[in-house]
Structure 1
């Protein structure tokens, strides 16, 4: 019988306390006597093998490692792994709408959409509608047996999206008993508390075995002002010593004062009696007292003039005259430093899951699994803000304001206002429900061949609710209140602006000095908005694997897979969103579907065995054919060698082609309105005359080819029209991305140091035709190209008569190129120490190259290596000492020093360098009874805050903003 006994599990059990394990042949040899040797399956291959050797680098993280860190979300651990970085998390989605609270991983920093997350070797439903990235919030940690990370060559085995690699989460398959686990995390500073509870149970019978669990987690949010390092910001200002752009003196410098200065936030009610001027425009600002009378706008503790004010030169533009600095935050309209800013989105999740097997007979087994997850998060935002036109005939204009307008011959003024006191803050509440189930059969066909087949269905439903929203036209109607026929009504005007009647059903509203609104006014002006979205995933798959024939060095093994997958997604915004009636949000319905049929073959050919300089040598190859309903046919392949040089030394080589297919969102996103500030156009005669671009000749040629005569200028009306409108839209002409991947690895297990493993892997990714979103920048890219025959010009719409840009499209285009190269280093050492066991584990990544080019033009390549998101070195060190029933776990995470910008020059600032960053975590756990385990830990022992730099001091993506925190946990089993 082809059993599912897994030797990897045996290996993990032998070294549970090491946390992460580099897979090597020596490791397999250490554990071959733990359980009977059966054919097993390693992530990165569907061929079941007799050992753990693989030509693809595989890192294994045991489920115990999550417990050792006090972690209840897989992504919290993966984010610290050197091979990965954060995709999305509650720390990076505090201002997101549809992505609020998501947890996704990102291998190699190539993007979450290029990392394939599997559960038990099978795809999982996406975390967001129309996407492919998996939300790790939906994976219960108490069910995790181990996590296997394979990089390089995975697309040929698993299909598209595995460009950077595969994260395969292996769950527990059975359990005999019941286990309760409760834990909490308490930061030293307030906010960010976390509470967790789980119950897991199961049985192991002769025919039926199963495991089931219920997990509940509550992550509380915390504002930025709750952290002392944020309350003491790192501010910068224009350097008064700087004279020009060539004097070697930085334009901006760090203030160096603990109280700091901040740009003034003009968030309150005010209007100006004239145009902004260079000599202190605040003198022309007015606001209202609580009775609606005007008074001068207060600038808080005082306005500090621009240090370079005297140097302002409209020709050289050495400084921006509107740059003003204000100390303190007690003026009119100041939301204040950190107002409505959060380090973490609140997240509440409930997961119920089960996995089971039923022995049909000696040769065939029925498998089934089920997952239900409910997550909810709420993102808060500032109030809606507007610019209202207040006409002179407004019924609520008082005498003092009327006199001011008459004295200055003003027929109207613009009132800037945030609705803080009227409808309150805006909030985005998002609830996601995930349902996933599969049923399959696996077993043996003959002594040499086995099979596995399954059918799987997954669905995510996403409900989004916006509160504190405003119907913009209704607001404008209600504010334009006039006295008509003895009553105050909402003005109905003709084309000349004359009042000709009242707008029926409109409730007038005096917004000047208002601190509240009546219920009738709220009912007319305020609103909520909703969007319901659903994504379905259906998969049918069959794999057969076994031995084809025998060679002198062993059996030729193979695996053949057929798979059909359908992804479909729909979104249904509320009517006010579809019609674009509310402030800041408009969206049309989406309905998209992708079908793909795939066939794959994987073959392992043993070439040599037990000869000089080759204990074994195996050639492996895989080919996957894919037929997508939208992008057509494609293929992925790999060629690999696995070479055991000696009992101590092994070499592995892998060359592969991977692909990523565009997702439903990339293809089918419907029109939604957007705006771009300013009215720049490279074809304007004045822009061409002052251009220093190396593409100037192309611009002149292409603008004329587009029908714009030499010396063309847009009209004054176009220039004065404000923001340029645009549309966000999918692109059904997208093609699959292609990646050329290389890995070369060495595994060394010296006999003279028992218990030591060393692994070194070089890796390289070259992604071509990467999908990148282009919007307003399409204008420049279109005309800077060698001709108008380029993918960017379709994103620009000009008026056929005037030549003026009417709107632009933000669409994805296959234009980008990404190159990444690096070296992974892993070392594990296990030994007895005193009367216990010591396990040490070091995992590190050295980044050689990180080059990107969003346009595909060779001259636009830039290097990101050594910048904040791409440090040269990332490392993680684990030390675990176990004695009797207790274990002591110390973990160190390290990021090398970086810079903010590789293209930096001293003329820009004096704070480009970012120092290295290291944190330490500790966990102690002990079994005080056979049934009861207690855990206590401290994360970020030294209370390391983010580097004190303007670019990073509040960065929660790459640095710890939660601070020192204690974790407590208990587990009871019976």
Structure 2
């Protein structure tokens, strides 16, 4: 009986995921045999984007479908890596770039349209999944079991009214296989060609029927991982590059103070270059009587000598072919990562019309990020007196010659240990519910979900500032080198030298380094139910479908930082305790109304309506709604359109996040090279900044404070789509879709960027007595020292473009070809930092991370026991500068663009008679290099392959 009931239900709830084998475009082939149509009742199927069962596989909104087979037939260890390569998704958080923030190492989050992970809703079987990042709703794809993935469906347009208001850019829905029978084993290993990078994955699954086929129980487990690689371990990425001021640049100011540009790049990119103003050995500068600045560096034995500055460019701290600080050696291309998960599921037919179901999953993953060591520069330079016990006679003589009794040492302390972040996430999720049929046309589903994610974070080699200061302040007492501070001595202070590479001794490291421990807990509770009828009553054009439902959801998040580090006593950012929660009660409804049928150019016309009313404990009532038209002109051509409005409530971190210490990389608008407008020059002068100011601090990161805002309101979004689906009778196996989409978000929740705060401060027509200047602090030398930023409803975001999909499946050469082309043209992607100033915006379309054209072409061929696959991913040429930047300065750099980018993967498979399937593959078969001088580790360059040519083998066995 389970086979009759639950397998039919499987067909109903997951048929769309199977369409990748047929049309490949989220639509099924139209039935052309009139007699067959008369004799066979079309199956009613639930498709993503609607809860109403529909005849055939007609998606009311644009849907891209990726089959589970496509996800596992690659060398990628992580399904998120495969999905992030799709044109509609931005690689905001992939494994390659997840270590750029504290607590994010190992995360793989999805970001539809590049409008933020908080605006992309990730579901499993149409149900919510607990977040993996504290304070947010973002779901880590590592927490989703891979063994049972049947398909992944990506929808744009009108999703908020159906699934929830935080689906403002769309939904990514992972559909799992319903009933599991038999034993499946899959093993994969891979290695990169020109680096030590390796990965592995082993999955096992077993399922069986019981109780006269009324029940089905299944278990699966997975172990996978990869080792980390550093930029210096790859030939392409090991060379250090730096953008420096071009000596040939002839830009000048005219009599009106306006810059005149000569077309020669302002900066040039040079190899074997870096910062000379810091060193792993320690360095310092002295000013001679003539006013010249002389730089000195320490030898391994602690003696001092003039530093080789090679070629400098009239710009503080930058040189080439010199003794420079090579930051590439602290840049990890991939983190060390491993994952273990175990999953179980149970379906049991209680009665012929009632099915009980339950799922349980446990996932544990570890992601390690190895960053820079502690460093001391500029205002934080290490002050060393003439009586320091480790001073070499050469340094004492030098200080005497300059008539000084102390020096300020700049040091990048590799010998104190690189800072290591170990993140262990455990996610447990439980689903239980009942679904069934009431009468002939009504079906229902009731379920509950509970999920919990725990993050245990360890930050190793976290320097204790006071202990370190005590340790380097060493003097000689009774012929023995000791710490000057007597109390510190009594507490075990160990003195150390800081003069030269590897000068810090191991005992001292133990004295001033500590491990900081922090943890976070995220919980989600959901109770939901809906009642559907796809044939409520009949109109002249067909049956009306309806879906009604209600949902209760509670989200909780708590982050407890290391209590000692939170005081600011260590080098690690002083993060503060964060706790918050909200609950929401929602009611939703859908209607599918056939309007016209069997008319010229109207085979049928269906109106879709959906509304969702939510009552949040934080913002109150939020209403989202959608309307859509589904128009079959004839059996071959179909048009579809949706229009929706939605509200997104702020998440926990946006509301309750404390003022945490952070660091910003900015350009000082009061620099002599930036103060180009008269308003800016006047305001900078009002702040006391001299006209010839050449800042040193902005060569490194500036301390900042960022946090949440309990006064936030909801975001408002409007989106619409307009598309065509073409499936010609004269070419069976061919399908094409073309969909225009547009998304607008007002009152967008955003932290005003540090750069915008600085610019708004000095570009204000009414002077410096404004809200932005109050957020900026400078020291007596006019250097930036602190910038404060909190979340506000001040921004607006817009995006529009066209998605297209072509698929053609056909028999040839004795076998079967499956072809698919998925692409996106991004026409516009604007960010209005201040929605009240609509004339001021950044146009990102066509810039790095937002290529105008992106596409994936896949071709597979199967002949008997052989299979062959080819996939090419294309990214269009992108600019490294936005239009607004180029309007001010048309010649900023010698590298203005990254060229078009192609990456091709190939695979060859063989099916043995024993049931073993062997696949050999090569990703990036042509070993396409990263563009320009990037390492592919930022939020915008994560789209590019930074592993290089990669070989893998997959072995599967089923019985």
TM-score, length of structure 1 as denominator length: 0.87
**Per-residue deviation, 1:340:** 2.5
2:216 to 192, 209, 212: 209
SS in 1 for 2:536: strand
**Per-residue deviation, 1:134:** 0.9
1:388 to 382, 385, 390: 382
Q: Deviations over 1:236-276 (max 9, x none)?
A: 554333222435232346568xx654444622344546239
2:320 pairs with 1:325: yes
Judged with a 3 Å threshold, the aligned counterparts in structure 2 of structure 1 residues 785 and 552 are, in CA distance, closer, same or farther, namely farther
Match of 1:309 in 2: none
Q: Deviations over 1:654-709 (max 9, x none)?
A: 00012322211111122322456899798xxx99x977266899x79xxxxxxxxx
Q: Deviations over 1:144-198 (max 9, x none)?
A: 0111111110000000221111111000122221111111122222222111111
2:917 pairs with 1:933: yes
Match of 2:257 in 1: none
Aligned length, in residue pairs: 924
Q: In structure 1, what is the Cα distance between the partners aligned to 2:538 and 2:479?
A: 102
Match of 1:923 in 2: 907
2:305 pairs with 1:296: yes
2:556 pairs with 1:571: no
2:345 pairs with 1:377: no
Q: In structure 2, what is the Cα distance between the partners aligned to 1:242 and 1:804?
A: 26
1:879 to 851, 859, 869: 859
Match of 1:692 in 2: 677
1:910 to 882, 888, 894: 894
Q: In structure 2, what is the Cα distance between the partners aligned to 1:806 and 1:828?
A: 56
**Per-residue deviation, 1:436:** 0.4
Whether the aligned pair in 2 keeps the contact of 1:91 and 1:344 (CA below 8 Å) is yes
Match of 1:354 in 2: 344
Whether the aligned pair in 2 keeps the contact of 1:455 and 1:541 (CA below 8 Å) is yes
SS in 2 for 1:667: helix
Q: In structure 2, what is the Cα distance between the partners aligned to 1:789 and 1:636?
A: 41
Whether the aligned pair in 1 keeps the contact of 2:496 and 2:503 (CA below 8 Å) is no
**Per-residue deviation, 1:765:** 0.7
Equivalent residue runs for 1:716-795 within 5 Å: 726-774=704-752, 776=754, 777-778=756-757, 780-781=759-760
Q: In structure 2, what is the Cα distance between the partners aligned to 1:512 and 1:786?
A: 49
Match of 1:89 in 2: 94
Match of 2:872 in 1: 892
Q: In structure 2, what is the Cα distance between the partners aligned to 1:568 and 1:136?
A: 20
1:901 to 861, 866, 881: 881
2:803 pairs with 1:824: yes
1:146 to 147, 151, 157: 151
Match of 1:222 in 2: 229
Q: In structure 2, what is the Cα distance between the partners aligned to 1:187 and 1:804?
A: 45
Judged with a 3 Å threshold, the aligned counterparts in structure 2 of structure 1 residues 968 and 251 are, in CA distance, closer, same or farther, namely same
Q: In structure 2, what is the Cα distance between the partners aligned to 1:953 and 1:665?
A: 25
SS in 2 for 1:860: coil
Match of 2:647 in 1: 659
Equivalent residue runs for 1:380-459 within 5 Å: 380-386=370-376, 387-397=381-391, 399-421=393-415, 423-459=416-452
Judged with a 3 Å threshold, the aligned counterparts in structure 2 of structure 1 residues 183 and 395 are, in CA distance, closer, same or farther, namely closer
**Per-residue deviation, 1:522:** 3.6
Q: Which moved more, 1:85-94 or 1:369-378?
A: 85-94
Judged with a 3 Å threshold, the aligned counterparts in structure 2 of structure 1 residues 931 and 584 are, in CA distance, closer, same or farther, namely same
2:189 to 172, 184, 196: 184
Q: In structure 2, what is the Cα distance between the partners aligned to 1:646 and 1:789?
A: 65
Whether the aligned pair in 1 keeps the contact of 2:541 and 2:594 (CA below 8 Å) is yes
Whether the aligned pair in 1 keeps the contact of 2:122 and 2:139 (CA below 8 Å) is yes
Judged with a 3 Å threshold, the aligned counterparts in structure 2 of structure 1 residues 934 and 239 are, in CA distance, closer, same or farther, namely same
**Per-residue deviation, 1:937:** 1.5
Equivalent residue runs for 1:335-354 within 5 Å: 335-336=325-326, 338-354=328-344
Q: In structure 2, what is the Cα distance between the partners aligned to 1:907 and 1:524?
A: 51
TM-score, length of structure 2 as denominator length: 0.89
Judged with a 3 Å threshold, the aligned counterparts in structure 2 of structure 1 residues 578 and 906 are, in CA distance, closer, same or farther, namely closer
**Per-residue deviation, 1:40:** 2.0
Judged with a 3 Å threshold, the aligned counterparts in structure 2 of structure 1 residues 94 and 354 are, in CA distance, closer, same or farther, namely same
**Per-residue deviation, 1:446:** 2.6
- Structure 2: give runs of 5+ residues left out of the alignment: 253-259
Judged with a 3 Å threshold, the aligned counterparts in structure 2 of structure 1 residues 913 and 335 are, in CA distance, closer, same or farther, namely closer
Q: In structure 2, what is the Cα distance between the partners aligned to 1:712 and 1:344?
A: 44
Judged with a 3 Å threshold, the aligned counterparts in structure 2 of structure 1 residues 271 and 278 are, in CA distance, closer, same or farther, namely farther
Whether the aligned pair in 2 keeps the contact of 1:766 and 1:820 (CA below 8 Å) is yes
Whether the aligned pair in 1 keeps the contact of 2:472 and 2:498 (CA below 8 Å) is no
Q: In structure 1, what is the Cα distance between the partners aligned to 2:175 and 2:937?
A: 37
Equivalent residue runs for 1:211-610 within 5 Å: 211-231=218-238, 237-245=244-252, 246=260, 248-252=262-266, 260-264=272-276, 266-272=278-284, 274-275=286-287, 281=293, 283-290=294-301, 292=302, 294-299=303-308, 303-306=310-313, 319-320=314-315, 322-327=317-322, 331=323, 334-336=324-326, 338-386=328-376, 387-397=381-391, 399-421=393-415, 423-482=416-475, 490-491=483-484, 504-505=490-491, 507-513=493-499, 515=502, 521-546=508-533, 547-610=535-598
Q: In structure 1, what is the Cα distance between the partners aligned to 2:774 and 2:831?
A: 22
Match of 1:314 in 2: none
Judged with a 3 Å threshold, the aligned counterparts in structure 2 of structure 1 residues 55 and 792 are, in CA distance, closer, same or farther, namely farther
SS in 2 for 1:925: strand
**Per-residue deviation, 1:228:** 2.2
- Structure 1: give runs of 5+ residues left out of the alignment: 307-318, 493-499, 701-709
**Per-residue deviation, 1:572:** 1.5
**Per-residue deviation, 1:459:** 0.6
Q: In structure 2, what is the Cα distance between the partners aligned to 1:34 and 1:837?
A: 29
Match of 1:704 in 2: none
Cα root mean square deviation, aligned: 3.7
Q: In structure 1, what is the Cα distance between the partners aligned to 2:245 and 2:413?
A: 32
Q: In structure 2, what is the Cα distance between the partners aligned to 1:585 and 1:276?
A: 37
Match of 2:659 in 1: 671
SS in 2 for 1:6: helix
**Per-residue deviation, 1:951:** 9.0
Judged with a 3 Å threshold, the aligned counterparts in structure 2 of structure 1 residues 749 and 501 are, in CA distance, closer, same or farther, namely closer
SS in 2 for 1:870: coil
1:45 to 36, 39, 50: 50
Judged with a 3 Å threshold, the aligned counterparts in structure 2 of structure 1 residues 196 and 82 are, in CA distance, closer, same or farther, namely same
SS in 2 for 1:324: strand
Q: Deviations over 1:277-311 (max 9, x none)?
A: 99974x44142542x4x320442xx61243xxxxx
Whether the aligned pair in 2 keeps the contact of 1:384 and 1:583 (CA below 8 Å) is yes
Q: In structure 1, what is the Cα distance between the partners aligned to 2:784 and 2:328?
A: 38
2:59 to 54, 74, 80: 54
Whether the aligned pair in 2 keeps the contact of 1:779 and 1:792 (CA below 8 Å) is no
Q: In structure 2, what is the Cα distance between the partners aligned to 1:273 and 1:879?
A: 61
Whether the aligned pair in 2 keeps the contact of 1:815 and 1:855 (CA below 8 Å) is yes
SS in 2 for 1:394: coil
Q: In structure 1, what is the Cα distance between the partners aligned to 2:39 and 2:386?
A: 89
**Per-residue deviation, 1:871:** 1.4
Q: In structure 2, what is the Cα distance between the partners aligned to 1:785 and 1:28?
A: 66
Q: In structure 1, what is the Cα distance between the partners aligned to 2:769 and 2:720?
A: 31
Equivalent residue runs for 1:26-45 within 5 Å: 26=30, 37-45=42-50
Whether the aligned pair in 1 keeps the contact of 2:17 and 2:153 (CA below 8 Å) is no
